[in-house]
Chains A and B, each alone.
Chain A
């Protein structure tokens, strides 16, 4: 952090008119600025290197160097929905640490803390300018927009300019996995990091973006935001920007939500649904929908009770990646179940649970009528292509991944497959052998 910044902050803090809340806010910003300065290093070369690492352009050194010690792990192993019971039963200190220093980690990425993603998305949603890209614009919000755009009548170009400025600032201020950043950049600009025009963004390969010329034409003509609320559009007797009359061929059916999207207003709400889970956009309804559309519900007996799968948990995360990860794990269950000859006549039984654990939110995918088909050592030593891909493509930066399973003769163990902790197994003595295989995705707030 440059000296002049410190001087400035000191001067600001000396100002007696600051409220306690404002003072706290400045201190918070200062602390994150200091952290950032430290992370980026002092010289220009160091800074560039760090930035390149951050955007995943170069490989980093061994991830395990930064892993915390085992003693810090105790609480994490209690992540299972019955976590408390497990925690009591397990004898972690007596468990065998089978960590192998020769793990093939070069196929795995540098670990990215998922807390960053939450902050990135939460603050995007709270940002006074960027929030206008997350919901309908009503008359109150329109007044806000005109206020910060310093316009009397809505000016789309000015609004977009402000949005892109705010995004650039936000993007610099907060850290998130590159893929999330790319998604939002695609939504706002229709371009990638290098300025190349994208064919589409998100799993649904959405072609429209805030910067689309047709949107500019429409909004300039109508002088209202392209995501104006239905009631506002009706009042003004203006047809919303739709993918029929205004631009053809852009309508699509959302794979995640199994809904037809036909207007820009719906795109905006869809975008918000891609990062904010809550009642009304609950993970439960999304997974139920996926189970149906991918016909998982025909192959698996799911248990998804409200008591263990809360549908009103609020979480900012990359929903798209979460669902991809879920799908991969479900397909893994189906594959493993089919491998077991004796299981062929029965369906896998999977208990899904979604719950809060301290400052984390966990999704548990618990295959109850199976056992893990690898030994503990094999699991740790050779994570395998499925897990590696899963971590690379979906998990890293989005959530942590834990495995709790019956390893047959090895007994029951808990393995943090991808987290800030070392990949190691912790035997859970006293656990029933029928525990099955449970994958836990931990999302941090």
Chain B
């Protein structure tokens, strides 16, 4: 455990950025002590061999023990000397050098707090060395650089460099600077700007008004000299639009190029008109005398591409980079903005990696999309649900612009509170929302939980589970996966689980195509449009589900077999309908498949008995619909005005016509009239269904193909047609009179004669 014994709490918080909340994050590693009482109370616990004590040199100065402060420090050091595993750091605001002797260090207070986080991070994994607290991540090199800096400041010329006929802007480091550097140069007010935002602000404030021929930048400055921040600042200047974007940059340093090879921004030195100059005023003059043609704006993207920057390690993750980059690109392309997008735009304009991308992949005005390009063709008003834990980062606004502002669709999103939920809770809340909102289309972000970023097993990704559950609930709901992933195996797994399509976020490597954003948004519009076209499947599935619900457990083999065939036919029909996204002919196939169900049902012996005579079964009764007599056949219904009606009919027949095959229309009509109790066969749109079956469905024609409406009709028909509850005995007495014994005998005789 580290005991940080420092009475100056305010300094700790305000000057060095270590408020209590930050210290609490490392509570298992560090314990702050602010008062003498606390120190005395915990003395036994603190002075243990394995502990580390970071002690403010003047801790006792304002206490009742102030006279003994030096003696106490001495005792501390004696204790540390006796116990080598005990680490002691004595720090003070009046120390300006760093001394480490075995397990005892004497350090300036600023250095301790500056490197404390690194020390604590290292402490999580191992026993960090005091050198890390004194010099940061690269103790050896940092120490060497500090020495070199001191030495270089002693050796540099006192007289200023004289650079004629060229304007110079000189940036000194804040602490150890070159005094009187260049005659008549503009000297920057520089506060060792180290992070991207600070650097960008510095350039925007200081270099956006006057153009200078030469800009001098210190190679090493800030908290860690071995970061060689000057290289990064130079890259920032090149990637920031300003009058000085193309000026000559001279990075002055006290180490050679061999020290810089591993630096992430080393390649800036390979670009045109960027020079590394030695720590000497004469060298400043010499560098400005190097003759080279000016850098032009046309050359800039190619020059900056040489930087070959990779996603910065300190960024949250690659996913965040892609996410933010894509939001920025798309929002710019469709010209929309909200506070979240503004925030990202600011980040894009300050973060060097993004600035680098912007410089090499600029968005030209020609590649912006007008609202007309965002119109999506659809019938009705589909409901879109967008599920994303990071919707508020800007995507919500992008989608809102497209779906609501331009197209007036019903659009909602879910994901605000995912951060505090488990994977299971996220899955449940998503499914609940899908059901409650009755979504037609779901845009589902690929990674919704923190674990999804670490999980390499696709089967455990939250969105995959949600997808499966949505599809189980209703496979007709269109689910489009929204993702930064471009890994084929991920996409494959999602597709297998039922994903209907993908919207891939624009990663920086895709931006090499200058028209990518525009094309990607166009593609997304057509993807959504296609998904809407397929959203009829949701309704289809609900109808199918309704039909399946009619299936009850039966002891009747014929009925059970029918149920099996029914399920199979429905399933095949649905699958065929899914295929309509590729070709409309699948509507026809699905239709025929569904028609088979009608035919199948009409052939069931407990529905329609076709022997010498024909009966329609109603509940436990049978109605004679047609019978054959010796010289005629007799029917209870007759076809008139395009439909079968209750009207008795006799037809004289020749002996060879006695075995007459009944057509489907007659059978279905008989069932409709006698089993379902309708007046005629035109009910339930049977007439249309039968007509379609025999005309359009059987003969596919691109210009006259079927659509979802025909499917809805036939499904509705089936729903009623096979429903046992729909049986009505209204017409059971309107069947034929069953033959008398004598009539039957006569019929037999006539056959026998033959």
Residue B175 CB within 8 A of the other chain: yes
Say if the beta carbon of A198 comes within 8 Å of chain B: no
Complexed CA–CA distance, A135 and B8 (Å): 14
Bound Cα distance from A229 to B177, whole angstroms: 16
Contact A269 B96 (CB under 8 A): yes
Beta-carbon contact of A135 and B94 below 8 Å: yes
Cα–Cα distance between A244 and B101 once the two chains are bound (Å): 36
Say which residue of B154, B189, B191 sits within 8 Å of A260 (CB atoms). B154
In the bound complex, residues from chain B placing their C-beta under 8 Å from that of A32 are none
Are A138 and B93 closer than 8 Å at their CB atoms?
Answer: yes
Q: Complex formed: what's the CA distance from A258 to B147 in Å?
A: 12
B77 adjacent to chain A (CB < 8 Å): yes
- From A253, which residue of chain B is reached at the shortest CB distance? B154
Q: How far is the CB of B401 from chain A (nearest CB, A)?
A: 39
Given known A-B contacts A139-B11, A279-B106, A230 and B94 have beta carbons under 8 A apart: no
A280 touches B174 (CB 8 A): no
B8 adjacent to A259 (CB under 8 Å) = no
Inter-chain contacts of A138 with B (CB < 8 A): 8, 10-11, 15, 93, 109
Contact of A280 among B66, B97, B172 (CB under 8 A): B97
Q: How far is the CB of B340 from chain A (nearest CB, A)?
A: 28
Q: How far is the CA of A157 from the CA of B96 in the complex (A)?
A: 27
CA A138 to CA B10, docked complex, whole Å: 9
**Which residues on the A side are within 8 Å of B10 (C-beta)?**
138-140, 143
Q: Provide the bound-state CA to CA distance between A280 and B9, in Å.
A: 24
Determine the residue in chain A with the shortest Cβ distance to B190: A239
A244 touches B179 (CB 8 A): yes
Q: State in angstroms the CA–CA spacing of A128 and B58 once bound together.
A: 12
A230 touches which one: B64, B66, B70, B110 (CB < 8 A)?
B110
- In the complex, the answer to whether A235 meets B15 with C-beta atoms within 8 Å is yes
Which A residues lie within 8 Å of B95 (CB)?
A: 280-281
Q: How many residues of A are counted as interface, with CB atoms below 8 angstroms from the partner's CB atoms?
A: 50
Among B15, B93, B180, point to the contact of A248 (Cβ < 8 A). B180
Is A281 in contact with B97, judged by CB distance below 8 angstroms?
yes
Asked if B99 and A136 make an inter-chain contact with CB atoms under 8 angstroms apart, the answer reads no
Is A21 an interface position by the 8 A CB rule? yes
CA distance A139 to B189 in the complex (A): 22
Among B110, B150, B189, the residue within 8 A (CB) of A259 is B150
Judging by beta carbons under 8 Å apart, are B150 and A231 in contact?
A: no
B-contact 0/1 string along A119-135, CB 8 Å cutoff: 00010001010010011
Q: Does A251 belong to the interface (CB within 8 Å)?
A: yes
- In B74-114, the 8 Å CB interface with A consists of 74, 77, 90, 92-99, 101, 104, 106-107, 109-110
Q: Looking at the complex, which one of B8, B64, B99 makes contact with A282 (CB distance below 8 Å)?
A: B99
Does any Cβ of B come within 8 Å of A192's Cβ?
no
Q: Are A312 and B104 in contact (CB under 8 A)?
A: yes
Cβ proximity bits B184-228 to A, threshold 8 Å, 1 near / 0 not: 000101011000000000000000000000000000000000000
Give the shortest distance, in Å, between B448 (CB) and chain A (any CB): 39
Given A281-B97, A312-B104, are A260 and B92 neighbors across the interface (CB < 8 Å)? Answer: no
A232-B15, A260-B153 given; A126·B74 CB < 8 A: no
Q: Which residues of A contact B172 (CB under 8 A)?
A: 244
Known contacts A259-B150, A279-B106; A136/B93 CB under 8 A: yes
Contact B90 A279 (CB under 8 A): yes
CB pair B179–A243 under 8 Å, yes or no, is yes
Q: Answer whether residue B339 sits at the interface, using C-beta atoms and an 8 A cutoff.
A: no
B62: nearest residue on chain A (CB-CB)?
Answer: A128
- A317 lies within 8 A of chain B by Cβ: no
Contact with A along B12-23 (1 / 0, CB 8 A): 001110000000
Asked whether B38 is an interface residue with its Cβ less than 8 Å from the other chain, the reply is no
Given the interface pairs A138-B8, A140-B10, the reply to whether A229 lies near B93 with Cβ below 8 Å is: yes
* Pick from B106, B154, B180: contact of A244, CB under 8 Å: B180
Interface string of B54-79 (1 = CB under 8 A from A): 00001001101010011001100100
Mark interface residues in A240-251 (1 if CB within 8 Å of B CB, else 0).
101111001001
- Are B74 and A314 closer than 8 Å at their CB atoms? yes
Size of interface on B: residues with Cβ below 8 Å to A: 47
Contact present for A229 and B106 (CB under 8 Å): no
Question: What 1/0 flags go to A202-246 for Cβ under 8 Å of B?
Answer: 000000000000000000000000000111111101011011110
How many A-B contacts if CB must be within 8 Å?
A: 116
Q: Which residue of A lies closest to B13 (CB)?
A: A139
Contacting pair B97 A234 (CB below 8 A)? no
Residue of A122, A243, A272 near B94 (CB, 8 A) is: A272
B70 near A279 with CB under 8 A, answer no
Are B14 and A235 in contact (CB-based, < 8 A)?
Answer: yes
Q: How far is the CA of A135 from the CA of B58 in the complex (A)?
A: 11
Given that A138-B93, A229-B110, A230-B174 are known contacts, is A239 also in contact with B8, CB under 8 Å in the complex?
A: no
What are the residues of chain A within 8 A of B7 when measuring CB–CB? 140
Which listed residue, A140, A141, A237, A314, touches B73 by the CB 8 Å rule?
A314
| A229 partner, pick from B15, B73, B90, B99, beta carbons under 8 A | B15
Residue of A nearest to B100 (CB): A279
Collect the chain B residues with CB atoms within 8 Å of residue A280's CB: 92, 95-99, 106-107
Q: Which residues of B contact A278 (CB under 8 A)?
A: 106
Q: How far is the CB of A279 from chain B (nearest CB, A)?
A: 4
Q: A138-B8, A259-B150 are in contact. Are A312 and B94 (CB under 8 A)?
A: no
Chain B contacts for A139, CB-based, 8 A: 10-11, 14-15
Chain A residue at smallest Cβ distance from B57: A278
Q: Is the CB of B11 within 8 A of A262?
A: no
Q: In the bound complex, do residue B15 and residue A239 qualify as a contact, i.e. CB atoms below 8 Å apart? A: no
Shortest beta-carbon distance, B284 to chain A, in Å? 16
Provide the residues of chain A in CB contact with B110, threshold 8 Å: 229-231
**Contact status B94-A269, CB under 8 Å:** yes
**Which residues from B are CB-within-8-Å of A232?**
15
Interface membership of A406, Cβ < 8 A: no
Q: Are the C-beta atoms of A311 and B191 separated by less than 8 Å?
A: no
How distant is A134 from chain B, measured CB to nearest CB, in Å? 6
Quote the shortest CB–CB distance from A226 to chain B (angstroms).
15
Residue pair A311, B101 in contact (C-beta under 8 Å): yes
The complex places the Cα of A25 from the Cα of B259 at a distance, in Å, of: 58
Query: Which residues of B have CB within 8 Å of A248?
Result: 180
Q: Across the interface, do A135 and B92 meet the contact criterion of CB distance under 8 Å? A: yes
- Interface pair B94/A134, CB less than 8 Å apart: yes
Within 8 A of A (CB), among B1-52: 7-11, 14-16
A123, B62: Cα distance in complex, Å: 13
- A129 smallest CB distance to B (angstroms): 13
Q: How far is the CB of A126 from chain B (nearest CB, A)?
A: 6
Chain B hits for A237, CB < 8 A: 189, 191
The docked-state distance in angstroms from the alpha carbon of A279 to that of B15 is: 24
- Docked complex Cα distance between A290 and B722 (Å): 109
Complex CA distance for A243 and B90, rounded to whole angstroms: 31
**Contacts A139-B10, A139-B14, A143-B10; A234 near B174 (Cβ below 8 A):** yes
Beta-carbon contact of A279 and B99 below 8 Å: yes
Q: B154 contacts A231, CB within 8 Å?
A: no
Closest chain-A Cβ to B67's Cβ sits at a distance in Å of 8
State A232–B154 Cα separation when bound (angstroms): 27
Smallest CB separation, A229 vs chain B (Å): 6
The distance in angstroms between the C-alpha atoms of A266 and B108, with both chains bound, is: 13
Shortest beta-carbon distance, A31 to chain B, in Å? Answer: 15
Asked if B191 contacts A234 (CB within 8 A), the reply is: yes
B193 to chain A: closest residue by CB? A234
Task: Name the residue on A nearest B69 (C-beta).
Answer: A126
**A-B pairs with beta carbons under 8 Å apart, 16 shown:** A126-B69, A139-B11, A139-B15, A229-B15, A234-B174, A242-B179, A253-B154, A259-B154, A260-B150, A260-B153, A269-B96, A279-B99, A280-B97, A311-B101, A312-B106, A314-B70
Given contacts A126-B66, A235-B15, A244-B187, 16 further A-B contacts (CB under 8 A): A128-B62, A136-B94, A138-B93, A139-B11, A140-B7, A141-B93, A235-B14, A244-B172, A244-B180, A248-B180, A262-B153, A269-B94, A279-B101, A281-B97, A311-B101, A312-B106
Closest 3 CB pairs of A and B: A135-B94, A279-B106, A140-B8
Interface residues of A (CB under 8 A from B): 21, 122, 126, 128, 131, 134-141, 143, 229-235, 237, 239-240, 242-245, 248, 251, 253, 258-260, 262, 266, 269, 272-273, 276, 278-282, 285, 306, 311-312, 314
